[in-house]
Structure 1
Amino acid sequence: MLEVNILDERWYCITEDPEAFVLNIINASLNELKIDHYKLSISVALADDNLLHQLNLKFRKMNRPTNVLSFQCEQLSNECDLGDIAISIDTIQKESIEYHVPIPAHVAHMLVHGLLHLLGYDHQKGDEEIIMKNLERKILALLSYNMCAI
């Protein structure tokens, strides 16, 4: 089950139907990763800097907001509660301007990025980062988003 919680009305300025947008990105990602047949539970919170700041401080001891956070609940299995993804509209908007990337493309990237973290991918070491970025590029290209500037 994929659940989308829209916690800030400004998400409707990004796309007319934020829930459908998120579901499309997540479902296409699961399909490309060949795990769309699994019965996964994933929750996505479309939030703001205030919530991401609080979560970042509580769980990562970082006293600042961030663009996306992922919280893995269970390891990937045929039927599992994979976890939660939270995205901040404020940071996404700032970064989109900074990186010269359309906001929907950046949101798509952060959704894919967050999903990969739930699946155990990381980018702390060079080889892990290469693997994760290549998967992100592949999935975003499938969705017709160019990740060159990100």
Structure 2
Amino acid sequence: MNLEVTIEDARWQRLEPLATRAIQAVLDYSGLDDDLCEISLLGCDDARIAELNSEFRDKPTPTNVLSWPAEELAAEVAGQSPVKPNPDFTGEIALGDIAISFDTCAREASEAGKSMDDHVTHLIIHGTLHLLGYDHIRNPDATLMEGVEVEILGKMGIDDPYCMS
């Protein structure tokens, strides 16, 4: 896979290996040829992600992860799987961009009693699924997306992040 990682916050020392593993798991699950897929990833802090959240979502607050799909792939019918992306004229599949905030991820992991690595892996999977057309606005879509996340994480040996036990 062609993963372009930009680190704006030096605390993201482990972002690239975590992201590579998480994105690879999503591409494997989706049956996509990882040699064709391109993703850009930004590791930033709360101030930067708040700027992006304000600019693109009109929400001037920090969040954990944002994604910008290169192509609209969402299913028209709620709860159905998204359309698979196709290669462009160059033979590549540009999936889009993801930004992730260290501050919010660290705080959420601490509050949930989870390891930072597991939480970041989950959020990279979540962001990558958004690039592939998954969403959680409609309830059936949220159920589908969460199920896919849990399945991929399970294959990676990571506990269900939605289980509150």
Give TM-score, length-normalised by structure 1: 0.90
- Within 5 Å, give how 1:12-31 maps onto structure 2: 12=13, 15=14, 18-31=15-28
- Measured in 1, the distance between the counterparts of 2:123 and 2:106 equals 12
Q: 1:46 aligns with which of 29, 34, 43?
A: 43
Q: Give the superposition deviation at 1:21.
A: 2.1
Moved over 3 A (4+): none
Unaligned runs of 5+ in 1: none
CA offsets, 1:109-140, max 9 Å, x none?
A: 10000001111111011110110000000111
Identity in percent: 38
Q: 1:77 matched to which residue of 2?
A: 86
Are 2:156 and 1:143 equivalent residues in the alignment?
Answer: yes
Q: Give the superposition deviation at 1:22.
A: 1.3
Q: Give the superposition deviation at 1:149.
A: 4.9
Alpha-carbon RMSD across the aligned residues, in angstroms, is: 1.5
User: Which of the two has higher C-alpha Rg?
Assistant: 2
Q: 1:63 aligns with which of 56, 60, 63?
A: 60
The DSSP-based 3-state class of the residue aligned with 2:99 is: strand
The DSSP-based 3-state class of the residue aligned with 1:82 is: strand
Q: In 1, are the aligned partners of 2:68 and 2:96 still within 8 Å (CA)?
A: yes
Q: Give the superposition deviation at 1:80.
A: 2.5
- Measured in 2, the distance between the counterparts of 1:30 and 1:37 equals 6
The DSSP-based 3-state class of the residue aligned with 2:5 is: strand
- Measured in 1, the distance between the counterparts of 2:19 and 2:48 equals 19
Q: State the structure with bigger RCO (CA 8 A, min sep 6), 1 or 2.
A: 2
- Measured in 2, the distance between the counterparts of 1:135 and 1:115 equals 12
Q: Kindly indicate which of the two structures has a greater share of residues assigned to helix.
A: 1
CA offsets, 1:83-111, max 9 Å, x none?
A: 00000000001111222211111100100
The DSSP-based 3-state class of the residue aligned with 1:83 is: strand
The DSSP-based 3-state class of the residue aligned with 1:105 is: helix
Count of residues paired in the alignment: 146
- Measured in 1, the distance between the counterparts of 2:139 and 2:52 equals 26
Q: In 2, are the aligned partners of 1:27 and 1:36 still within 8 Å (CA)?
A: no
